[in-house]
Amino acid sequence: MRYIIALIAFLVLPLAYAVKVHDLYEAMIPVASQSSQDRMRAIPKALEQVLVKNSGNLDIAKDARIKSSLQHAENLLQEYSYQPSTVNLAFPYLLIIKFDHVGVSQLLKRADQPLWGSNRPLILVWLAVPVSAEDMEIIGVDSASTILSLFKQQAAQSGVPIIFPVMDMQDLNQISIQDIVTMSLPALTRASQRYAPDAVLVGHWVAMPQQGVQGLQSQWKFVQGGSEQDWTISGASPNAIIDILFNHINTTLTHRYVGQVAATNAQPIEMLVTVQVNGITHSRDLTVLLRALKQVTGVEDVQVIQVSNNAVWLEIDVHTALDNFLENVALIPHLVLESKRDETLVYTWDR
């Protein structure tokens, strides 16, 4: 019963701060040098990374139309720069490549791939890692561990917003390494409330010999909206584990917010959704609402069909499954779903 109550508590965390992800058309590729040869080899990888970030499709490079475009990835290149990297000594530079967002969007549309909007769920990470044979530490926002850098780099490459706890006195009084290792939902719920995340990721790893070779085994729990997933990931290094972990996260979020990638020649999803929003009393609120809705994944157009003193009725052209549309609209701050009445979705603008 205590476990169920803790899981339900994740549903009533304070208003989640879904964030607008920037740099979706930018990729970071580790390179050995700043030579033109290394740069040209990295450009197709960078474009593939950008296409994955904007579609959520991890297998996008297998599409014949995408594969052909990757061979000419330099045609979409806008600018590039370098910055030092200390994560891997064999690749001392990060090549940062920015692509033309219009060209990328058109490429995805021509290939019948979904376009994942920039409003994405914020994930709070509770992570405990070994620092010696006997001791572990909780990775905080100011941690000097390279693990933090690896997480941030992989999150940026995946287009997934993450935050780590500040680990101040408030956190230290509420959470312990044992809470993370045992994945204690009651303690994690209390400690997470101050951050108001959309999802919580809890994990730890330990050293485990694998066929005579030292490796790592990790346990993870991903909790969002009353549902949870558990993953066990083994790898030769933290980098290998984090790479697989973000594949799991990407797949989970894509299924929830983007939907399944449509097969070639599949019947496209199109529907008109009527939405009533109460509590719209100022023109600026309507402007903010319309701007937010037009940025929702799968929304092609938003039309105002009726306005009263404190409410507005909208007709929204949606090109994704209704469940995916509802999940993405739930990320808009101040917009609260009240009911579904006579084929109309009724929301309240709580500001």
pLDDT of residue 54: 94
Q: Same structural domain for residues 246 and 144?
A: yes
Residues 330 and 238 grouped into a single domain: no
Our count of domains for the chain comes to: 3
Q: Quick check: is 264 in a domain?
A: no
Q: Are 154 and 230 contained in the same domain?
A: yes
N-term to C-term CA, the chain = 35
Q: Are both 130 and 275 inside the same structural domain?
A: no
- How is residue 66 written in tokens? 């995408």
pTM of the full predicted structure? Answer: 0.81
Q: Are residues 164 and 210 in the same domain?
A: yes
Q: Walk along the chain (351 residues) and give the pLDDT tens digit of each residue.
A: 444 434 444 444 444 447 889 899 999 999 999 999 999 999 999 999 999 999 999 999 999 999 999 999 999 999 999 999 877 788 999 999 999 999 999 999 999 888 898 889 999 999 999 988 789 999 999 999 999 999 999 999 999 999 999 999 999 999 999 999 999 999 999 999 999 999 999 999 998 876 666 789 999 999 998 889 999 999 999 999 999 999 999 999 998 998 754 444 455 678 999 999 999 988 899 999 999 999 898 898 999 999 988 999 999 999 888 999 999 999 998 999 999 887 899 999 987
Distance CA 248, CA 265 (A): 27
Reference 81, options 28, 151, 120; nearest CA is: 28
Q: Which of these three, 234, 257, 280, is where a domain ends?
A: 257
Q: What is the Cα–Cα distance from 10 to 193, expressed in whole angstroms?
A: 9
Q: What is the pLDDT of residue 10?
A: 45
* Dist CA 242 CA 129 (whole Å): 13
Q: 98 lies in which domain range?
A: 26-110
pLDDT at 11: 40
Select from 84, 110, 136 the last residue of a domain.
110
Closest CA to 100 of 50, 61, 151, 66: 50
- Whether 341 is in a domain gets the answer yes
pLDDT of residue 9: 44
Q: Are residues 105 and 243 in the same domain?
A: no
Determine the pLDDT at residue 14: 42
On whether both 31 and 91 belong to a single domain, the answer is yes
pLDDT of residue 267: 57
Cα gap 31→158, rounded to integer Å: 18
Do 209 and 97 share a structural domain? no
Asked, for residue 265, whether it belongs to a domain, the answer is no
d(CA 312, CA 150): 45
Is the same domain home to 84 and 205? no
Predicted pLDDT at 341: 80
State whether 233 and 248 are in the same domain.
yes
Rounded Cα–Cα distance for residues 94 and 85 (Å)? 6
Q: Do 291 and 229 have their domain in common?
A: no
